Amino acid sequence: MKASKNGLISQANRGMDFEQLIDHCNRMYERLGIAIINKRPTPIRITGRLSGGKVTGFFEKPSTVDYDGTYRGRSIVFEAKSTKELHRFPLNNLEAHQFEYMEKCHTFGNAIAFVLIEFEAHRTVYLMPFITLKHFWQGTTKNGRGKGSIPLSALDVNAWEVGPGKVPIDYLAVVDKVWRLDAA
């Protein structure tokens, strides 16, 4: 990936896979001495090897969340989701076991837990803290209605738009504001 001297990604590179861009930002955070945040591997059991270096296997168990690490002495866990939808984020993009893991980290460990949501068409990214996500999650699953969606207008009010800063998607700048972690 090519970044400009100021660390921002050109518009030509904005179509890059969302998680690859977050991985790039996390490497930059680590190089800058800001945080250590890792992509969690999906637990896979390899059952055999085929010719050409290919392997066979299966998902051993559901993964927890996409990313975890440490920032300013606190545990941080988050899920990264991207949608092609124009006006809503479908909650079925988030699995129940991912929600439950964030809830446990938030409750038991006082972790910084959130979802990063990319709207591909708008080229915008939102950070929604777990406690806000929980409100929408519980509100749409009451009475067996199933998972609904979060309108973009609700994200504008209940989440924070993430822009470039020290890294192309400077979500830790938003974490500082939301969790009041910024240095005095």
Q: Please state the domain extents for the chain.
A: 14-39+65-178
User: pTM for the whole thing?
Assistant: 0.79
Least confident of 19-28, 46-55, 158-167: 46-55
Residue 152: pLDDT band with limits 50, 70, 90 = very high
Which is more confidently placed, 177 or 5? Answer: 177
User: pLDDT tens, 41-95?
Assistant: 665 556 677 777 776 664 555 668 999 999 999 999 999 999 999 999 999 999 8
In the Cβ-directed half-sphere of 118, how many Cα atoms lie within 13 Å?
Answer: 19
CATH second-level architecture of 14-39+65-178? 3-Layer(aba) Sandwich (3.40)
